[in-house]
Amino acid sequence: MEFVLRKWKPEDAASILEYANNEKIAAALRNAFPHPYTLEDAKAYIRACIEKGGDRQVTRAILVNGHAAGSIGMFFGTDVYEKSAELGYWLGEPFWGQGIMSEAVIRMCRYVFAKYDIERIFAEPFAGNRASRRVLEKAGFTLEGVLRSSVYKNGMLQDSCMYALLRR
């Protein structure tokens, strides 16, 4: 399925609300991604993406059929992690299983490696999130390890996985 990655615009808020207000998505992400997800949450997220874009992070809307249906971002490390970036992403449930996210990850990684002095991109999906792990594997990431009982989400301890992609 065709999609476009582009910078966020304030008018994306209503579209994001439509897809982000989903308990399944929130269950697979950090607690900073709320459920229920409100229009104010969408506006605040987009505002933060616009204001913080550039030196410390790169975030893009994932547009499907002209509507913002998800998000992908790279968040650059500091101090001894200044050559690393953390990848985060989500996509509206109607578009799962269509190869969109794997291709979005590939495009974003190519862009960040070409434009920034980054040597390592990593992601840390919950171990039980097989779909997200598959996205990373299809995009060329390597599983570096399982972090046992590293995540506390919805009253439960869960394992997470460390995946990475190196410039070389």
CA dist 111 → 118, 128, 154 (Å):
11, 29, 34
Confidence (pLDDT) at 103:
98
Which domains, ranges and CATH numbers included, belong to the chain? 4-122 (3.40.630.30)
For residue 104, pLDDT beyond 90: yes
d(CA 162, CA 147): 7
pTM for the whole structure: 0.95
Closest Cα to residue 122, out of 86, 147, 146, 150?
86
Tens of pLDDT, residue by residue over 5-49, are 999 999 999 999 999 999 999 999 999 999 999 999 999 999 999
Q: What is the DSSP letter of 64?
A: E
Structure tokens at 14: 């209503």
